[in-house]
Amino acid sequence: MELTIDHVGKQYRRDFWGLRDFALELGPGVLGLLGPNGAGKSTLMRILATITRATEGEVTWNGADIARRPNELRQVLGYLPQDFGVYPNLNAIEFLEYLAAIKGLDGHSARRRIDELLQLVNLVDVARRPLGGYSGGMKQRVGIAQALLNDPQLLIVDEPTAGLDPEERVRFRSLIAELAGERIVILSTHIVSDVEATATSIAIIVKGHLITHDLPEKILQAVEGKVWTWIITSSELAAVKEHYLISSTARRSDGVHVRVVSDQEPNDGAEPVPATLEDAYLYHVQGRSHP
């Protein structure tokens, strides 16, 4: 299976493109799509899910243009949008049965699949409660379940861990890792730790442009030797932030420990440290790689 995004752009106004000249080729595995809010991630997800059409370029699924032949992709697509909503008067079973019918699953297969998914997302005990009484995290888990109803070959999840508590987030990451072997999974988020735990490749998008796409270790290599720790006083912090990219700060008894991402050593007292994916992400988003 292959998903090809060929120089896709989406124009919303004469002077504004939400996405521009975006190109990727994807096979089985988990793509972590990273970018700040408003970078164009959701626009791309909606184009891939055949909800909106690109202004320019094309997307093909196994060689078929999804704008001209959307049903070939829709039959094997699972999609969890960022603004996923539920019918509050239905319970989880009724809601999933309704969506299974829309997706064309027969009754027997749907019931078996729903039982499996409720176990998977840990909602068995509340499956007959109306969805209107669910917490945000519980509704998100229902959303994950509906995206998996048809055992999709292409799974698109947009900010999937929003509203999940730490335990649920770990459970979701494990689920994504398990699903990755025989399908294409696109995980769109601004939470670097979600991508770090699951992605087999990473794409970083800024202002609608693809900045980089590579293996996680290659993304990290780009900032090796560019990350430093430096102890400064509280009074120096504001000035340091003006001149350097700071990925984290921690106040200690001996001063403020700042983590700096910089091509050059920021100060004689700074010490080099191994880079993290968070450092690499900030380097591309806020550093020299702006489009």
Domain ranges of the chain: 225-274
According to the model, what pLDDT value does residue 170 have?
83
Between β-strands 255-261 and 227-232, what pairing exists: parallel, antiparallel or unpaired? antiparallel
Predicted TM-score (pTM) of the model is 0.87
Of residues 290, 236, 291, 224, the one with CA closest to residue 263: 224
Per-residue pLDDT of the chain in tens (291 residues, 90 and over written 9): 899 999 999 999 888 999 999 999 999 999 999 998 889 999 999 999 999 999 999 999 999 999 999 999 999 999 999 888 899 999 999 999 999 999 889 889 999 999 999 998 889 999 999 999 998 888 988 998 999 999 999 999 988 877 678 887 887 888 888 777 789 999 998 888 888 888 999 999 999 999 999 999 999 998 999 999 999 999 999 999 999 999 999 999 999 999 999 999 998 889 999 999 999 999 998 864 433
Name residues whose C-beta falls within 8 Å of residue 113's C-beta, 6 or more positions apart in sequence.
Answer: 100, 105, 149, 151
Q: Report which of 236, 289, 243, 238 is spatially closest to residue 266, judged by C-alpha positions.
A: 243
Q: What burial class does residue 181 get, using C-beta atoms within 10 Å of its C-beta: 0-12 exposed, 13-18 middle, 19+ buried?
A: exposed
Question: Residue 288 has what pLDDT?
Answer: 45
Residue 18: name the closest of 208, 285, 206 by CA. 208
pLDDT at position 135: 87
Q: For residue 287, what pLDDT is reported?
A: 66
What residues contact 260, with CB distance under 8 A and at least 6 apart? 227, 228, 229, 230, 240, 244, 245, 246, 247, 266, 270
Residue 174 has a pLDDT of 82
**Which pLDDT belongs to residue 290?**
37
